[in-house]
Amino acid sequence: MSNVELSVKIGSLELKNPVLLASGTVGYGNEIAQYTDLSKLGGIVTKSLSLKPRKGNPPQRIVETPSGMLNAIGLANVGVEVFVKEKIPFLKELNTTLICNIAASSIEEYVECTKILDGEDAIQAFEINVSCPNVKEGGLEFGNDVNAVGRITEKVRAVTKKTLIIKLSPNVSRISDFAKVVKEEGGDAVSAINTLVGTSFNIFTRKPKIKNITGGLSGPAIKPVALAKVLEISRNVDIPIIGIGGIMNWKDAAEFIIAGAAAVQLGTINFINPNAGVEIVEGLKTFCEQTSVNKISELTASYQL
């Protein structure tokens, strides 16, 4: 029998373990649920929701790249109302922590979405996406502006007592300045990172492989960048960090935790192995047992520089 304590705290939110599934890679949970046991995970983060439904960008929206992928989905989603009516009943039954990700094109829209969802008991936390590189309005325009991120945090904080996580963009020069403003304005945690802006051409047609021209790069290709961002935040700001970027196995997850993450999210790997989350929880447990770590939270920011 293992005595390792895998539970972690993110603000007031207690997760049964530090492994979450990342927004946009598991829809609203229903598609992945048949391939894995979501109740064994720390939680899931649902696809970014906007006030009204969005169709997203025209195809081609996804392309494979060396050690990664580019996507420009453009925040296609059902909108908050349909989410509440049609998606929450299923998510409620999953016995895992539900974190709702919200994206918007104005501060008012972020606030309105949060207000509507705040009434749902099934939702334990919000992750605010200020960092989507694939939409013209909102997205990176907010994610690149420290003052805008501060204002969004402040205004959303005012309408919810639930755990508030702000998902940061890596497409900035000092990510820790953004984490600092999130903390000052009452955010409970930051997620780092969202995708990096990238592109790819077909050399014969000379056209971009993605209709949107640029997309968000994810997968193992971004892991060292993501780790450096997590470490930078950890060294400069006292705020819980959720590490994201290219995690493929438990070793990658452990690396993020050591670099400063209290929890991690898995994105691209879900398309390759939808059971990866459960396997990573098991791997982390064994790693802790074998290295005499009693509580996984002791590993957070345990780097020796």
Ligand X SMILES: Cc1cc2nc3c(=O)[nH]c(=O)nc-3n(C[C@H](O)[C@H](O)[C@H](O)COP(=O)(O)O)c2cc1C
Asked if residue 198 binds ligand X (CB under 6 A), the reply is no
Asked if residue 129 binds ligand X (CB under 6 A), the reply is yes
Asked if residue 218 binds ligand X (CB under 6 A), the reply is yes
Catalytic residue flag (residue 113): no
Distance CA 49, CA 99 (A): 11
β-strands 201-202, 241-244 pairing: unpaired
With CB under 6 A as the contact rule, the residue among 96, 268, 297, 300 that binds ligand X is 268
* DSSP code string of 120-168: -TT--EEEEE---TT-SSSTHHHHT-HHHHHHHHHHHHTT--SEEEEEP
With CB under 6 A as the contact rule, the residue among 33, 80, 244, 293 that binds ligand X is 244
Question: Which helix (H) or strand (E) is 196 found in, with range?
Answer: strand 196-199
Distance CA 275, CA 34 (A): 10
Asked if residue 42 binds ligand X (CB under 6 A), the reply is no
Asked if residue 75 binds ligand X (CB under 6 A), the reply is yes
With CB under 6 A as the contact rule, the residue among 18, 42, 139, 219 that binds ligand X is 219
Asked if residue 229 binds ligand X (CB under 6 A), the reply is no
Burial code (b: 16+ CB inside 10 Å, e: under 16) for 260-279 equals bbbbbbbbbbbeebbebbbb
Compose the 272-301 pattern: x for residues touching ligand X by CB under 6 A, - for all others: ------------------------------
Active site residues: 132
Q: Enumerate binding residues for ligand X (CB under 6 A).
A: 22-25, 47-48, 71, 73, 75, 101, 129, 132, 167, 194-195, 218-219, 222, 244-247, 266-268
